[in-house]
């Protein structure tokens, strides 16, 4: 039988291929080395989401969820406000935790971070430190700013700030280094709303005296701060103004000897996208690049999401030269919201590889309910179809996103199960899979 006829038989071909492979290995014709695949650095489409998980189902509902991933790459926590009774003002801060990247069936039972019977707990934020310990901050009864490290959850919380009049709002916390914690919030002080900051360099055991970042006129309003930290530089953005709002930005430099912070002159960075009614900023750092997303609100039914970024000279007075605005509004078509809750479009943002992801709620002009939408820079923002996470059959609001280990993408949001009751929903993506590399 000829060699050609032998090769026509599939079984013989398979055997010959195996023999060639054995010879290559034994004879060292090539040296094979398996390399760990790189994590994804780019996408061109929306994530593919796994099945929806219902994290809460209590009678009175839950809302205002946030999701954070720990540096160990496995642990993820979802914090939220749980309605303790039929009274709107009776809420406590709760959480659930997964040590398997949010896999179904791997969540802990609901547990309290803090209990305050008959009192409104609100504006919860959480972050993980480098030792995989969580830190929480929230507002009690609009009068007190509370903090608790994970070790004291459900047992004790410290009061960082207390006021005699209604006027504490929107605290945000960031952990950095081995023991550094930074908190910013809005506070009604001396007949005006201002942005305050405090810092702990011992993991929350003690705090520096709170200082306001910048003084504004009594007719002005400063609120909704957001922050990120890179070494000894603190980046803060907030909304300012009553009728023609703008997004302001300032950098703080930490004096590590005195644990004090000096702040730069604030800049109206929303001018970079020509926004004239800018609200609800969200700020993240990706390497040395500062990303800020925010809402442009003209009315209840006419709102958009913008995004700008800056890699150098971000505090320069020449905002348009240093802050890049591209593809705005990134949300594309006009969206609206309910007149009272949530009132504004609100964005959430994070970075996976080279791609910036922004998610938000909003209602199409032809629909009655808000939906959860997403877009990303690698898809050229609004030039590509938006990620329609939820449809208009149910009302869904207040998304929060977290990229974990540059691999997983987590998304939490509120779903209305009745006119007055909301529950927390959780999604995670299906990460792209990459084959090992063979190199000579």
Average pLDDT over residues 371-376: 98
pLDDT at 199 over 80: yes
Q: How confident is the model at residue 132 (pLDDT cuts 50, 70, 90)?
A: very high
Task: State the Cα angle at 93 between 89 and 98, rounded to 5°.
Answer: 145
In whole angstroms, what is the distance from residue 81 CA to residue 55 CA?
A: 12
Q: Quick: pLDDT tens for 22-32.
A: 444 344 333 33
**pLDDT value of residue 215:** 64
In whole angstroms, what is the distance from residue 377 CA to residue 80 CA?
A: 29
Which contacts (CB < 8 Å, 24+ apart) does range 108-113 have? 110/56, 110/58, 110/82, 111/153, 111/154, 112/153, 112/154, 113/79, 113/138, 113/148, 113/153, 113/154, 113/157
Q: Quick: pLDDT tens for 51-75.
A: 999 999 999 999 999 999 999 999 9
Q: Quick: pLDDT tens for 313-366.
A: 999 999 999 999 999 999 999 999 987 888 999 999 999 999 999 999 999 999
Do 423 and 412 form a contact (C-beta atoms < 8 A)? no
Say whether the peptide bond before residue 331 is cis (omega within 30 degrees of 0).
Answer: no
Residue carrying the six token digits 């969206």: 335
Residue 400, phi then psi, degrees to nearest 5: -140, 130
In order of 1, 13, 88, the CA distances from 4 in angstroms are 8, 11, 82
Do 247 and 312 form a contact (C-beta atoms < 8 A)? no
């Amino acid at each position: 039988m000829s060699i050609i006829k032998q090769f026509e038989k599939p079984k013989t071909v398979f055997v010959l291929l195996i023999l060639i492979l054995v010879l290559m290995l034994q004879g060292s014709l090539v040296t094979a080395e398996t390399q760990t695949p790189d994590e994804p650095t780019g996408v061109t489409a929306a994530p593919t989401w796994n099945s929806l998980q219902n994290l809460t189902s209590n009678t009175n509902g839950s809302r205002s969820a946030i999701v954070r991933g720990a540096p160990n790459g496995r642990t993820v926590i979802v914090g939220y406000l749980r309605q303790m009774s039929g009274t709107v003002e009776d809420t406590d801060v709760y959480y659930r935790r997964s040590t398997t990247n949010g896999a179904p069936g791997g969540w802990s039972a609901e547990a309290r971070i803090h209990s305050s019977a008959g009192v409104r707990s609100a504006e919860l934020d959480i972050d993980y430190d480098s030792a995989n310990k969580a830190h929480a901050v929230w507002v009690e009864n609009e009068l007190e700013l509370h903090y608790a490290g994970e070790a004291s959850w459900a047992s004790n919380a410290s009061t960082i700030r207390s006021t005699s009049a209604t006027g504490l709002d929107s605290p945000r916390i960031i952990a950095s280094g081995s023991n550094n914690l930074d908190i910013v919030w809005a506070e009604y002080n001396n007949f005006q709303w201002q942005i305050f900051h405090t810092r702990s360099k011992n993991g929350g055991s003690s705090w520096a005296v709170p200082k306001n970042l910048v003084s504004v006129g009594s007719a002005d309003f400063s609120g909704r701060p957001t922050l990120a930290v890179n070494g000894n530089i603190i980046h803060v953005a907030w909304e300012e103004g009553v009728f023609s709002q703008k997004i302001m930005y300032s950098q703080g430099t930490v004096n590590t000897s005195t644990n004090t912070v000096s702040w730069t002159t604030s800049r109206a960075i929303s001018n970079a996208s020509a926004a004239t009614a800018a609200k609800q900023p969200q700020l993240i750092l990706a390497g040395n690049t500062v990303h800020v997303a925010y809402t442009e609100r003209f009315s209840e039914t006419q709102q958009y999401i913008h995004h700008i970024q800056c890699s150098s000279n971000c505090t320069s007075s020449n905002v348009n030269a240093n802050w890049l605005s591209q593809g705005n509004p990134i949300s594309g078509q006009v969206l609206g919201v309910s007149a009272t809750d949530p009132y504004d479009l609100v964005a959430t943002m994070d970075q996976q590889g080279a791609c910036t992801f922004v998610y938000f709620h909003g209602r199409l002009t032809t629909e009655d309910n808000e939906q959860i939408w997403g877009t990303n820079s690698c898809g050229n923002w609004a030039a590509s179809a938006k990620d329609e996470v939820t449809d208009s059959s149910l009302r869904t609001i207040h998304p929060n996103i977290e990229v974990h280990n540059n691999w997983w993408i987590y998304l939490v949001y509120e779903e209305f199960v009745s006119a007055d009751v909301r529950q927390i929903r959780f999604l995670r993506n299906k990460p792209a899979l990459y084959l090992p590399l063979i190199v000579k």
